[in-house]
């Protein structure tokens, strides 16, 4: 897994990130979602490495990356804090400019990185994600029923950690090792059985229901937009369209027209359709906007 890549632990100030990186050329950061780790990209990253320096960290609080002590409003797990980690990581690796790709919760971090660090992000790719405020403002019975884990993981009065850590094997469901890659499967399950990681993931969702929404609202009220080229990769067999056309929802946030592609897969595109994902990323990152 990740032949030719280097595995590092990088101190970026507030946290230490576990990160793999390899290849040569313009830099691209791949950000995983919940409840995965960076190893979800194991079949995509090598396909990009011939033309790009590919960087795949665990988000703070996930995998083997650390998390600071809890702060008011769960600020330590805000997407702004995670975006700052990405920017500092790329500085450490010698890249002033880079593309950022994010899936699921990683899409929120990718968006925040492109919004907060406009002068550094060359391309933005979001996979099965919308700005968190767009979900929350459209919440109805259909969304709450289908995406109920947002509300469960976000609870603080009756913390989800106690339920999950009591029997993580019953709580989480993943494909068999052969389907998602044996090493990826082992890495994910090592994380899911770690109470510190479970807490970090819950804090991610708690930040999403509060401080992340406030950051999105402030950007929208100020008229700020993403200025770099942007692409949405939507899974054909998932439900990102639960609020309607996701491309139309993204459009007001972008200064340039959105490139929108549908990938024939379920939610975990990088594991289920790595060839198609890598092809779309290479085409977009190398000038075909």
Kindly tell me if the per-residue pLDDT of 288 is higher than 70: no
Annotated active-site residue 85? The verdict is no
Nearest-angstrom CA–CA distance, 154 and 156: 7
Superfamily of domain 6-285: Alpha/Beta hydrolase fold, catalytic domain (3.40.50.1820)
pLDDT one-digit tens code per residue, 94-125: 999 999 999 999 999 999 999 999 999 999 99
In sequence order, the 6+-apart residues with CB closer than 8 A to the CB of 124 are: 99, 100, 110, 111, 114, 226, 228, 229, 230, 231
Query: H or E stretch including 215?
Result: helix 211-222
pLDDT of residue 151: 94
pLDDT one-digit tens code per residue, 182-214: 999 999 999 999 999 999 999 999 999 999 999
Q: Which residue has the tokens 């494909």?
A: 175
Kindly tell me if the per-residue pLDDT of 289 is higher than 80: no
Of 104, 187, 216, 219, catalytic:
104
Q: How confident is the model at residue 241 (pLDDT cuts 50, 70, 90)?
A: very high
Nearest-angstrom CA–CA distance, 164 and 85: 27
Kindly tell me if the per-residue pLDDT of 157 is higher than 90: no
- Phi first, then psi, for residue 256 (nearest 5°) are -115, 160
Do 54 and 21 form a contact (C-beta atoms < 8 A)? Answer: yes
Rounded to an integer, the average pLDDT of 264-270 is: 97
Of 34, 117, 267, 289, catalytic:
267
Mean pLDDT of the chain: 97
Count how many Cα atoms sit within 13 Å of the Cα of residue 97 in the half-sphere of its side chain: 8
Calculate what percentage of the chain has a pLDDT beyond 90.
97
Annotated active-site residue 283? The verdict is no
């Amino acid at each position: 897994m990740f032949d030719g890549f280097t595995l590092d632990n990088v101190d970026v100030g507030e946290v230490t990130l576990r990160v793999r990186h390899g290849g040569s050329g313009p830099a691209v950061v791949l950000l995983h979602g919940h409840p995965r780790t960076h190893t979800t990209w194991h079949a995509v990253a090598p396909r990009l490495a011939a033309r790009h320096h590919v960087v795949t960290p665990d988000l703070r609080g996930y995998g083997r990356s650390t998390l600071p002590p809890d702060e008011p409003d769960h600020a330590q797990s805000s997407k702004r804090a995670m975006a700052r980690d990405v920017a500092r990581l790329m500085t450490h690796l010698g890249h002033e400019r880079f593309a950022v790709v994010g899936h699921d919760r990683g899409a929120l971090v990718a968006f925040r990185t492109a919004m907060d660090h406009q002068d550094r992000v060359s391309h933005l790719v979001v996979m099965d994600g919308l700005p968190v405020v767009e979900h929350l403002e459209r919440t109805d019975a259909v969304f709450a029923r289908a995406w109920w884990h947002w509300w469960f993981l976000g609870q603080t009065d009756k913390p989800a950690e106690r339920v999950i850590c009591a029997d993580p094997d019953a709580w989480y469901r993943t494909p068999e090792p052969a389907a998602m890659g044996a090493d990826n499967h082992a890495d994910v399950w090592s994380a899911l059985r770690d109470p510190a990681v479970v807490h970090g993931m819950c804090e991610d969702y708690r930040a999403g229901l509060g401080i992340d929404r406030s950051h999105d609202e402030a950007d929208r009220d100020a008229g700020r937009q993403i200025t770099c080229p942007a692409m949405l990769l939507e899974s054909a067999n998932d439900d990102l369209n639960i609020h309607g056309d996701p491309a139309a929802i993204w459009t007001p946030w972008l200064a340039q027209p959105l490139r929108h592609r549908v990938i024939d897969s379920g939610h975990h595109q990088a594991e289920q359709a790595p060839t198609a994902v890598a092809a779309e990323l290479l085409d977009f990152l190398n000038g075909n906007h």
